[in-house]
Structure 1
Amino acid sequence: MIFDNDDDSIYVGPPVDGEMIRQAQEALGVRLPASYLGLLRVQNGGILRNRCFPTAFPTSWASGHMCVDVILGIGGAWGIDLVSSRLIAEWEYPEIGVVLGITPSAGPDTIMFDYSECGTQSDPSVSYVDEDRVPRRIADSFTEFLNGFVSCREYGEEAD
């Protein structure tokens, strides 16, 4: 399982059903990837077990990787349908799509579903947005993104 076993986390939303998905997609104005929705049917967001993601470029976190603490779900207090547009406005992220997760810095950088090349009704790539607000693609799909996480111990960091 990609998530830590903390079902009581404030980031774990209510059980997902078809109506929640419809409402979230309508609120966001995009079609969410089937692989993302499949994950949310197992657990609706939460804290990640392995939190480091290798990058081919330096980030504000490290020279060759980034860290993501949380993948956001839908619905609930921390659902992307509620917080994404607020975070984009508050942190002046580029208007490329939907904020997908929370990094340890909780604002200066983030990860987003990037619909800028595919349109709002196709499967987006995943981009990292650093303090410079330039989106950098880190995965061609949500599945590739999920499969890219590694233990932060690989980078000499104490814990994930």
Structure 2
Amino acid sequence: MQSELLEQLQSWHEQDEFGRIIERIEAIPETERDYNLIGQLARAYNNTGRYREAVEQLLSVHQQGASDPLWQYRLGYAYCYIANYEQALLAFERADELMPHDESTLEFLRQIRPEADKMRRDRQRHEEELAAFEQSGIQNHLRAASGTYDPATFWVESDYAQDNHVSDPFDEEEIGSIEQELGYKLPASYIQLMNTQNGGIPALTVFPTKEATSWAEDHIAISSLMGIGHDKIYALAGEMGSRFMIEDWGYPDLGIVICDCPSAGHDVVMLDYRFCGPEGEPCVVHVDQENDYEITYLAPNFEAFIRGLVDEETYDLSDEENED
């Protein structure tokens, strides 16, 4: 029976019938799935873009998989496509140790090593900036005006924003629903800001960067902030919300898309949970589809990002406008 099932699963795999593989294995009680079935399910999840679920399945049999090059390869593949390059590198290096000279593994290693190095640098910067921000004593203070931030003047009013971005006020039940749907806990400072207005267009739309992006040498721009809800098209769980950008536009599933940019979807700003886990305090990154989903670190947390926004007149945008 087991051999016949594995043969059928392999046949479906060769026909790209990954959904049928998932449906068949998921119909089997979890307690009855052995190592081979879990590996097949993880492979099918990888082939349908369900990378976080693939990681979860593979880690459930990590003791058996530790010495299996195919298990290591599948784990590295899943980590790679959620942009967890540090863990992906470890898995592919172990796969190479267990089965040297595999060309697919070597190709991933060539691609991932520079990304893993960049992720390590970003992690170090994140730890340093987060410590400095926490020492400032202003964390989770977006309810009231302080410094350059003023909730009374933060949002720009317009009919377009009201129709497409500004969601109705939310309650704890709505927060829980959104968090469950997206798979991540929303930062307290994000919730505080959305209590002033639930999504919309900010008055300050430019954030300085320490490295160049496709947008500019020293900054990125945003066009809106997504609200907590399902109703508006640009809400977190709306028609063009976070999951849409990840599942339909191919952005890495490293967290939550919170801002769209003037490129109309070709770059976004995301809450990045790679350093903290889904329940932790995420940093903020810019992800550039036009540059192979390049990730640029922006701020140690959401509040630091909001407080770091500046007016577009701070920069001479004439060159960018001429390029458009």
Give the TM-score of the pair, scaled to structure 1. Answer: 0.93
Q: Which structure is higher in strand share?
A: 1
| Runs ≥4 residues deviating over 3 A | none
Number of the residue aligned with 2:235: 79
Q: Is the 8 A contact 2:223 2:262 kept in 1?
A: yes
Q: Is the 8 A contact 1:54 1:65 kept in 2?
A: yes
SS at match of 1:81: coil
How much does 1:112 deviate?
Answer: 0.4
Asked if residue 23 in structure 1 is aligned to residue 177 in structure 2, the reply is yes
Asked if residue 148 in structure 1 is aligned to residue 302 in structure 2, the reply is no
2-side partners of 1:26 and 1:92: how far apart? 21
How much does 1:81 deviate?
Answer: 2.4
How much does 1:94 deviate?
Answer: 1.1
> Can you list the C-alpha shifts for 1:22-71, whole angstroms capped at 9, x where unaligned?
11111111110000001111100001101111011111211111100101
Asked if residue 64 in structure 1 is aligned to residue 222 in structure 2, the reply is no
SS at match of 1:40: helix
User: RMSD between aligned alpha carbons?
Assistant: 1.4
Number of the residue aligned with 2:155: 3
Give the one of 188, 194, 204 matched to 1:50.
Answer: 204
SS at match of 2:256: strand
Partner AA of 1:80 in structure 2: L
Number of the residue aligned with 1:139: 299
1-side partners of 2:155 and 2:284: how far apart? 18
Q: Is the 8 A contact 2:226 2:258 kept in 1?
A: yes
SS at match of 1:145: helix
2-side partners of 1:72 and 1:143: how far apart? 15
1-side partners of 2:163 and 2:314: how far apart? 26
Partner AA of 1:53 in structure 2: F
SS at match of 2:271: strand
The equivalences for 1:122-137 within 5 A come to: 122-130=280-288, 131=290, 132-137=292-297
1-side partners of 2:166 and 2:283: how far apart? 23
Q: Is the 8 A contact 2:224 2:259 kept in 1?
A: yes
How much does 1:9 deviate?
Answer: 4.3
Partner AA of 1:79 in structure 2: A
How much does 1:8 deviate?
Answer: 2.3
Q: Is the 8 A contact 2:254 2:274 kept in 1?
A: yes
Q: How many corresponding residue pairs?
A: 158
Larger radius of gyration: 2
Structure number with higher relative contact order (C-alpha < 8 Å, ≥ 6 residues apart): 1
Number of the residue aligned with 1:92: 250
Give the one of 110, 123, 134 matched to 2:268.
Answer: 110
Stretch of structure 1 that moved more, 144-153 or 84-93: 84-93
Q: Is the 8 A contact 1:94 1:135 kept in 2?
A: no
In the alignment, structure 2 segments of 5+ residues that lack a partner are: 1-152, 319-324
